[in-house]
Chain A
Amino acid sequence: MEQNPRPRTVLETLGEEIIRIVTPVSICMLSVVILVSILNGDSSSAGDLPITTMATIAYKESSSDSTWDKLKGALLNSLVFVAVVTVVTFLLVLLFYLRCTKFLKYYMGFSAFLVLGFMGGEIALLLIQDFSFPVDCITSAILLFNFTVVGVLAVFMSKMAIFVTQAYLVVIGMLVAYWFTLLPEWTTWVLLVAMALYDLAAVLLPGGPLRLLVELAMSRDEDIPALVYEARPVINDSGPSGGVVRRRVWREGRGDTDENQGLSTNTRSGLSSDSTPGTHLSVGIGEHEMNLADAEEGRVTGGDSELTTPLVQHINVQMNSSENAVPSENLVLEGIGLGSSGAIKLGLGDFIFYSVLVGRAAMYDFMTVYACYLAIIAGLGVTLMLLAFYRKALPALPVSIMLGVLFYLLTRLLLEDFVVQCSMNLLMF
């Protein structure tokens, strides 16, 4: 056997942060696909939302309409939805400007309660019905209540075990995404595209609400309270950084850092140093989605810890979205960014919209699911690369959604027939 220990090459740790974000996104998408196949499997058209929601207020799709009617109706729906989201985002910016942070935090907890309690309860009920699971209503009420309360605490408190918080955030994303898949088909697709475009506008245009919010938060050096998924940071020594993991710090972005050498120059600097991370968190109230990306320097903490080599060193993607499946529901979500310890944070809105796309693809066939999954992950990777390159706020949703929709159409129209024909004749290559 080998006498010398194997040298630890750069391949051991490269790309770890990306995987730490890709894994929960994949888990969320997988759960939504499973939920959709179990619960919507019997009827394709009877799975529509029984109530009028914000997204179907303008037009209720029925399968007897012509294609043109459906398209027009879907466009109308999406327009209304995007308009509502824009208004609510501006409201959010106003509230943040007036320093109503406490209100926002309580609102966030309240919406988590609603999502977990009511949406989660309904889905649990549907599952119990489907599988004829023998449980009485008192037991399930107690279980649901406990589950919801722990979830609200996980979202509120920063002292909770990080795994619990991550799990609850993924569950919240999954529940909201499932409810979104109940919208009519054309409305869903047009809505996805519309939200991607809105994202693009809100982040890149000078008057965009997300941009305003980020600049506000940056100038005040404050935290925005929001629902954000934070991946475990890539560190080997968890000593001094243990308590800092959950801190979200605002810093001014400076452009003079060496893109690729960020680590070595900042290894020994403390956490409050002058290094140039610029984390951005955006808050969403009601329905709006903000996608921002900003550059931040990755950092290594701890004295003797081995240098970790993040593939993405200056990535700060910020996304923020909230959905309103039921009109009174509001979620406050936070964007993606790099925390002060170098961990990537991802806003819940991305989880939700990616899962909606994949869930919708699952309602057609599993081939589209696989194709859309790959497209979305590729889009996520491309966005992170773009961020590392441009080092400024960039919307992260559009690339993935556009790729996802493109691959869905290509698979549905082209690939499926080809593959089925070849496979039926047992011809493979």
Chain B
Amino acid sequence: MTVAAGIGYVLLALGSSLSLFIAVISHKPFLVLILLSSTLVWLMSLIALSAVWRGFIPFKTAAWWPYALLILTSVASQEALRLLLWRLYKRMEELLDAFAGRVSKPRLVITDKMQIALAGGMGHGVAHAVFFCISLLTPAFGSATYYVEKCSRIPFFLVSAMIALAFVTIHTFSMVIAFSGYSEGNRTDQYFAPVIHLAAGMLTLINLGSGGCIIGIPLLYGMAILTLLHCGKLVWRRLTENRRQGNIY
């Protein structure tokens, strides 16, 4: 529906990430590198999943359980990847601290670590938005639009952009929560990310039903807001604790 609409859909899905990028990440080149590598890693996870499931899709049945299985396996493998990323991050943190020692600079402070986690999470979110939403938007720049039967009131592009926005938020901030949980050993935080991811994935199953997106998408946004609130509380708590301990951040 013309270039303006196409750009509108892109900004809808990625607009908040763009502003976060400009405000926080673009000032520190290292975070940009983390963002790019994180996006690449999650792309590779998507390719691996598609390699596994390639033989089975499109599903011949109209039942919902193959889709549930698909989402379950995908979320499980992505969460396993998140653990692996945490290990890698620990290694990198050691290297960075050693490097900082050699060039006589202070070690990484807590805001640095959270910013790295934020960049990593944003990479995940951007990978999701780009491959699930933006790359399908090419027809939207033309002169027509497209509707899916299951959700026939809103153009398909708009629906996928809205879902992508919710997922971007969830992915970006659950990485911060997860990394903070792993470093502190806080069980709630550690389990928060996988649970929310799985719940969000399962919620999209509601979209399989006719008119399901009217219920599914608001619930998804509820998840996103929950993630945002939890992350905000966590960060606030850690920063005030840090300041109380006398550290400068």
Contacts and interface: CB of A to CB of B under 8 A. Distances in A.
Nearest to B151: A426
The CB with the most chain A CB atoms within 10 A, among B105, B107, B128, B130, is that of B105
Nearest to A18: B33
Interface residues of B, number: 70
B50 A11 contact: no
B33 A10 contact: no
A195 B182 CA distance: 46
A158 interface: no
State which size class the interface on A falls in. Answer: 35 or more
A428 B167 contact: yes
A424 B208 CA distance: 10
A422 B128 CA distance: 12
A421 B56 CA distance: 11
Given A261-B102, A426-B160, A11 B28 contact: yes
A218 interface: no
A375 interface: yes
A417 B30 contact: no
A260 B99 contact: yes
A422 B106 contact: no
A15 B248 contact: no
Interface in A1-31: 2, 4-16, 18-19, 22
| Chief secondary structure at chain B's binding surface | helix
Interface stretch (B15-23, B131-139, B227-235): B131-139
Interface in A386-423: 407, 410-411, 414-415, 417-423
A7 B33 contact: no
B88 to A, nearest CB: 15
A366 B131 CA distance: 9
B109 A429 contact: no
B204 A426 contact: yes
The CB with the most chain B CB atoms within 10 A, among A22, A374, A407, A429, is that of A429
A264 B74 CA distance: 48
A428 B13 CA distance: 14
Contact of B75 (A8, A18, A366, A429): A429
Nearest to B112: A11
A253 to B, nearest CB: 22
B172 to A, nearest CB: 15
A370 B14 CA distance: 15
Nearest to A4: B248
Interface in A354-372: 365-367, 370-371
B1 interface: no
Nearest to B163: A428
Given A9-B108, A374-B43, A428-B128, A14 B29 contact: yes
A7 B135 CA distance: 41
Contacts of A9: 100, 105-109, 112
Contact of A378 (B40, B112, B116): B40
Nearest to B160: A423
B5 interface: no
Contacts of A418: 46, 49-50, 53-54, 57
B49 to A, nearest CB: 7
Contacts of B104: 307
A370 B99 CA distance: 33
Interface string A120-131: 000000000000
A233 to B, nearest CB: 14
Interface of B: 28-33, 36-37, 39-40, 43, 46-47, 49-51, 53-54, 57-58, 67, 70-71, 74-75, 78, 96, 99-100, 102-109, 112, 115-116, 128, 130-138, 148, 150-151, 156, 159-160, 163-164, 167, 197, 200-201, 204-205, 207-208, 213, 216, 248-249
The 6 A-B residue pairs with the shortest CB-CB distance in the complex, in nearest-first order = A418-B50, A426-B207, A367-B135, A429-B201, A19-B29, A10-B100
25 contacts: A4-B248, A8-B106, A10-B103, A10-B105, A11-B108, A11-B115, A18-B29, A260-B102, A264-B103, A366-B137, A370-B43, A370-B130, A374-B39, A374-B43, A375-B40, A421-B57, A422-B70, A425-B150, A427-B67, A428-B160, A428-B163, A429-B71, A429-B75, A429-B200, A429-B204
